[in-house]
A and B are shown apart, each in its own frame.
Chain A
Amino acid sequence: MVAPPGKSYHSPTSIVSQLTNLPSILPVAMQLSNVTLFCFFASYVSAFALELTQFLRRSHVMRWAAVVFTAAGLVAQTIYLTVRSQQADLPPLLGSAHDWLLVSAWLLVVLYLSVQAWNRDLSLGVFCLPLVLILVGASRFVRNIPNPRLGQFYWWGMVHASFWVFGILGVLLALIFSIMYLVQHNRLKHKQAELPALHLLSLERLSRINWWLIVVSVPLLTLGMITGLWMAHQSGGGALPVSLANITFVADAVIWVTMALLFGWLLTAHHPAGRTVAIRTILACTFLLAVFLVMNVLAPDGIHGSSPRSKSVSEETAA
């Protein structure tokens, strides 16, 4: 990006470097950069443990403590993502798979806290926090070096990443609501009284929310696929062309096809039973999550970035 004559754009990194020149702010900036993944992972683990204590003994203090720990984790995660974004001079969405996972977890936590503010009795934490922990935990093992091809596709990359992250967020929420549906359905079928620590929405509402989440997230994933294809096509003449035979691309395509099948069935099925919808959603979403995580953890390099180890290996080879 070229700045107009007489003006200069201040990148976040340059602002940070200017700020770090101020001796009074220096300790604060240093403290912020000390926030690690472990800080917010530990906060979420504590919050989840506190949520679980509700099953042993119902306590408003513990409930509030869980919310406070989650909020503290969110603050730490926000700082972590901001510092990483400043260091890479890229928004988190354009970072690596590591950042994508953390952004997805961050959005999930924001949604969880918002829902808790709207309905304090709803037991969302026991379903939401484990998924947040999986995402944060998995981010530790995936590629954390930004994609080297981003320079030429900055805006397309933003659009592509947004579609994927929001699409996957929709899928994660569909997974949570489907699990909630099955738990509620099981309770009602077995004629059990509601546990005070496990207050859920009605089957009708859970089913409706689940339907909308699939219906919204599948088009987002589709758009993510289309923008990805477009970028791959455009990269053909560049220095770092993307092959469609890349394993990451194939895995993403499989995920998309699975979700598209679920989407098609959901729209065309005649009187689908709520429980069947929930089970199929859970299967599809778990498959998506599993493929996504396995691909990012196991693949040494991909089209969305590279791990520090693979990067150093490639640098050595180049040298």
Chain B
Amino acid sequence: MNVQVVYCNHQSANLSIRERLAFPNKDVLTRAYEELRSRFPQSEHVVVSTCNRVELYIAQEDPDDAPTHAQLAEFFADFHQVPIVEFFDDLLECQGPQAVRHLFEVASSLDSMVLGESQIVNQIKAAYEFSMETNANGPLTNTLFQRAIEVSKRVRTETKLSEGKVSIASVAVGEFGKSIFSKFDDKTVLILGAGEMALETLTYLKGEGVKRILVCNRSLDRAQKLAEEYDGQARSWEDLDACLSQADVIVSTTGASQPVITASKFREIRRKTGPRPTFILDLGAPRDFESGVGEIDDGVFLYDIDDLEATCERNRQRRTVEIAKARAIIDEETTRFMQDVYHKATGPIVKRLREHWHDISRQELEILYRKLPDLGDREREVIEKSIYRIVNKLLHPPLETLRDEARQGPPHGMIATLKRLFHLD
């Protein structure tokens, strides 16, 4: 059994690379899974694509079927039409326990830009569920992702990581928004997109006293649903320009593959509104605003996800004790998970050994019963139980040794020895 992950995240690659390798919506993701299935048919796949990371988890029963790093990089390059040299150094890889630990750290938000954020676990759940819908996953990734969600819950319960500013919205508004505006209750907030990120940002801004909320989305139904939840107004995508001209705060979280607001379009809007302060938070990956938008005039303050890095790092340094606690939990859970995986790998040999020995005992009992036909049911039952106990006692030492071996690592040598000793091939 083998687990591996190739990834680029906010630590290894900047947003300009991540956005080109991202799988921003379900259509793109469905095509990606089809492509992965055709390239690596023996593997299970789960893709986690968020604004901070693009990660591909792969698992196989037979480690020999595992694709190489170069093959996986080639998949990214071909699928996204990005030259491999542009991202090869940013695409990292982990295997075995390191890959498991990495997923646990990601799910527990230790690897997130905003330490303690709760959104990542929902994103991982969503990624796992979508891989199930498209039959891209399998038994090993099922176990892995379910365990990752449990570990995330344990870290949240047993540490104080989720206290304080624990969302991208809270960091962005706290660091930059509040340095632009002294209050938000008289501001108009425009949300572009109606996904989970939009929902979380709205929850935070509502807490800051925002009263006028406009939700603009390509699907008006989704916009209406979100707007109703937060006492806002849903606007159709055709009203986008009018919404942009009214907004003081713009939060963009669409899953578009290309920027939806170009510099020329926004310049036209600013000509009408004048250079009044406008705080734009582009949380899309790929980005929704062209980078030139921030240079249009002195009143436009445009921030993307990478602009929050310094603040998040400062918050991280303040919470080293909690990080250490969380890492200890993750180490423990990784060891336990790997033991379970290795132990699971011994399952077939244990089953076959048991079946083999009990078959022999049944055959010997039949011979015995033929030789002693006068034996009553009571006597037969006593003899069967004794034989069963003898077989189990004889099986116990090798199986216990196998279990011990599985705690240390994959017991390939022991399995081969057992197969040879007891002719199990």
Contacts and interface: CB of A to CB of B under 8 A. Distances in A.
A273 B176 contact: no
Interface in B219-259: none
Q: Which of A189, A193, A203 has the most chain B CB atoms inside 10 A of its CB? A: A193
A184 B307 contact: no
Nearest to A275: B298
Nearest to A196: B314
**Residue picked from A270, A273, A276, most chain B C-beta under 10 Å:** A273
Given A204-B277, A273-B297, A276-B298, A194 B307 contact: no
Interface in B116-131: none
A272 to B, nearest CB: 8
A193 B182 contact: no
Contacts of A194: 175, 179
A188 interface: yes
User: Which range holds the interface residue count of chain B?
Assistant: 20 to 34
Contacts of B40: none
A255 interface: no
Nearest to A188: B301
Contacts of B299: 273-274
A286 B161 CA distance: 49
Interface residues of A, number: 21
Nearest to A206: B182
Contacts of B277: 203-204, 274
B143 interface: no
Nearest to B274: A271
A201 interface: yes
A189 B298 contact: yes
Nearest to B180: A203
Contacts of B310: 192-193
Interface string A185-199: 101110111100000
A113 B180 CA distance: 25
A200 B179 contact: yes
B344 interface: no
A201 B183 CA distance: 12
Given A185-B298, A191-B307, A193-B175, A273 B182 contact: no
A204 B278 CA distance: 11
Nearest to A192: B310
B298 A203 contact: no
B419 interface: no
Contacts of B294: 189
A266 B183 CA distance: 23
A248 to B, nearest CB: 38
Nearest to B309: A193
A310 interface: no
A204 B299 CA distance: 11
B275 interface: yes
A202 interface: yes
Nearest to A205: B182
Contact of A202 (B180, B273, B311): B180
B178 interface: yes
B303 A191 contact: yes
A237 B416 CA distance: 122
B75 interface: no
Nearest to B306: A191
Contacts of B273: 271
Interface in A177-236: 184-185, 187-189, 191-194, 200-205
Contacts of A191: 176, 303, 307
A204 B298 contact: no
B181 interface: yes
B183 to A, nearest CB: 8
13 contacts: A184-B179, A185-B298, A187-B179, A188-B301, A189-B298, A192-B310, A193-B175, A200-B179, A202-B179, A202-B181, A273-B274, A273-B297, A276-B298
Interface of A: 184-185, 187-189, 191-194, 200-205, 270-271, 273-276
Closest 8 CB pairs of A and B: A271-B274, A193-B310, A273-B275, A205-B182, A202-B182, A275-B298, A191-B307, A193-B311
Given A273-B297, A274-B277, A275-B298, 17 more contacts: A188-B176, A188-B180, A188-B301, A189-B298, A189-B301, A193-B175, A193-B310, A193-B314, A200-B179, A203-B180, A203-B181, A204-B182, A271-B275, A271-B276, A273-B274, A273-B298, A273-B299
